[in-house]
A and B are shown apart, each in its own frame.
Chain A
Amino acid sequence: MKKTLIAATAMMSILGTTAMAQEIGATFSRFDDNWLTVLRNGMVEYAATIDGLSYQQEDASDDLAKQIDQVKNFVAAGVDAIIVNIVDTSAGAAVSAAAGSTPLVYVNREPDNVNDLPSTQAFVASNEIESGTLSAFEICKNLRADGKAGGATGYLMNGQLSNQAAVQRSKDVHDVIGMDMCNFMTIIDEQTANWSRDEAQDLMTNWMSSGEPFDFVLANNDEMAIGAIQAMKAAGMDMADVQVGGVDASQDALLSMAGGDYDVTVFQDSVGQGTGSIDAALRLIAGEDVDQKVYIPFKLVTPANMGDFLDKN
């Protein structure tokens, strides 16, 4: 991966000197987020395949003020288009304004002003309402199939509480449990493990120390689900007795699924979002018409179809 990045950077600097060059600057909410890293690196690779495109990306380290400064810096540097993976989805107006008349594409996270974007701006992402819903509903069906429709208890692990996707995915879980078909499910407790595997291990072990029996664990992402699985296995639990659901379909998760520990995850299409956002930016630069709202669908992943996703994220 490092090699391709270096190659891509070298390529960009060569292309950057040609007269026909187009420049795209991108800013991402976090460089150390696993899924966003897949998205980012995919975009670097895709950008390198396009003649005359110079592509540069920056890390906003979860700091909205920093991200807005980065957008302004891109404008000042005269880039042709900007791609933003927004830090705070409720700050769409501020980010959109910072770009001025420079074309801007939001990727992966839906800004609150998505319905009022100026004609020079667009949005490419997946609809977060699908992800948590798909995962929780599949767990609900599995629990029914296991004969637990008379009542099932479990835990919910939240991602970072300041993050829109985390809040939405947890709300999805509650909405699914509110449905007639799934209201046999009860959540004993929900807490944040900050998207992180090791925090999830400790949280799960804390929960298990109370000794309450449970049937399912739902997590806002794969990393936390894997942490929960590791903690349960360390405590000697049989993973066949517990339904575990998450979101992302990361390779770590799929291999855990291949080992028979992990039950349900949801695939978020990084290639679709990444190439989609760059294509949209190029069309905006060229002054062509674009769909201002492009939703790339989430896909449910279970042991039955996991083979289709192994080399995707």
Chain B
Amino acid sequence: MSDTSHGTGGLSFDKTKRIWPSEMNVLLALIIIIVIFEILGQVLPYMNDQSFLFDTRGRFDSIFNEARLQIIILQVAIIGIIALGVTQVIITAGIDLSSGPLVAATAMIAMSFGQTEFVNGFANPKAVFGSWAMDLPVLIPVVIGLAFGALIGGINGTFVAYFRIPPFIATLGMFLICRGIALWWSAGNPVSFPTDQYAALGAGMMPVVWFLFLAAVFHVIMRYTLYGKHTYAIGSNEEAARMSGINVKRHKVMVYMIASMLAAFAGVVLSSKASTAQAGMGEFYELFAIAMAVIGGISLTGGRGSIIGTVLGAMVLGVIRSGFTYIKLDGSYQLMAMGGIIIAAVILDQFRQRSKA
């Protein structure tokens, strides 16, 4: 699978330029933020010299507070799965706003086929279908969920690629459609009480396992396969990509489908983790997924960004969320800090780009 036999639109990638520096910056920012919380833990009078990341109370076998390390990544893992797909869409110079509501709609639909018939001796009060849909093997709801994601992504991609609707508009429309589907599916009622198999998909640290596994898979795909090279090529210069023989339209549809299938899978994992699917789930997930990619150094004009950057971007948001709970500051401050960090990330990145040019 060499570049020359298939062509990449004449673009040669300087990997040192494209990958290294941006990710180092994010890693550095991550460390600085952790150090700030560490210092605050020492300075603030009500913290009793508690450490943010280190085990100062002898609760664990390691030097770290393992519980904190786990929750930092656990609470961003599900949005992180969405961000892996959004990263690919943004690299093509597109955007996907539909992922949050898609999470909710998929959760409702998939969970309806993953319910158990009896709960603590009572008939499941939230059953959507009759007993034929109860206690099915877990593969059925997962496949139904992924198929729904593929359908939505296929529609998104078709509108963007073949009807030339701006991605912002096409996926904004789908944002509303999916929220409507989520509300309509069971008339607003939650879908609860999954089978043990379904509940195991997102139990404990499973969301993190899925996130890191999928991140590794897509890191390899984006860096070493034609799919990845074409995705970067389209985002860098769509016209050049087309001239060099890439089927741009078909490729875009594929990228949107993959992104929506990742969001759909996130919906399955989220409903499993919470043991319930609710129409209001996934609120602002699409924006946090985009924020993760942006903090990770992606360019909204396409062609630049990486899966590793997005994973680090997710970690930054995870550290902030845990850090603010750690120093007992309210959620409103978290939002302000996250907003500031997103803007700061872009400003720093622009400086870096300009100084290089």
Contacts and interface: CB of A to CB of B under 8 A. Distances in A.
Nearest to A34: B190
A206 interface: yes
Nearest to A313: B125
A40 B120 contact: no
Interface in A173-232: 189, 191-192, 196-198, 201-203, 205-211, 226-227, 230
B190 A202 contact: no
A63 interface: no
Among A37, A210, A311: residue with most chain B CB under 10 A: A210
Contacts of A201: 273-274
Mostly, the A contact residues are helix
A190 to B, nearest CB: 9
Nearest to A44: B187
Contact of B59 (A38, A198, A211, A251): A211
B71 A198 contact: no
B8 interface: no
B111 interface: no
Interface stretch (B163-171, B209-217, B328-336): B328-336
Interface residues of B, number: 45
B335 to A, nearest CB: 11
A34 B125 CA distance: 14
Please classify how large the interface on chain A is, using the bins under 10, 10 to 19, 20 to 34, 35 or more. 35 or more
A46 interface: no
B274 A227 contact: yes
B325 A255 contact: no
B67 A1 contact: no
Contacts of B115: none
A1 B187 contact: yes
Nearest to A36: B188
A198 B188 contact: no
Interface string B66-104: 011011001100000000000000000000000000000
A72 B157 CA distance: 39
Contacts of B185: 2
A14 B297 CA distance: 58
B281 to A, nearest CB: 7
Those 6 A-B pairs whose CB atoms lie nearest each other, nearest first: A32-B280, A37-B188, A209-B67, A32-B279, A251-B125, A202-B75
Interface of B: 50, 57, 59, 65, 67-68, 70-71, 74-75, 119-122, 125-126, 182-183, 185-190, 192-193, 203-204, 270, 273-276, 278-281, 321-322, 325-326, 328, 330-332
22 contacts: A2-B186, A5-B187, A31-B279, A32-B279, A34-B190, A37-B187, A41-B187, A189-B328, A191-B330, A196-B278, A196-B280, A201-B274, A203-B325, A205-B71, A211-B59, A211-B67, A227-B274, A234-B203, A234-B204, A255-B125, A259-B120, A311-B125
Given A211-B65, A255-B193, 7 more contacts: A34-B190, A161-B331, A196-B278, A201-B273, A251-B126, A255-B120, A311-B125
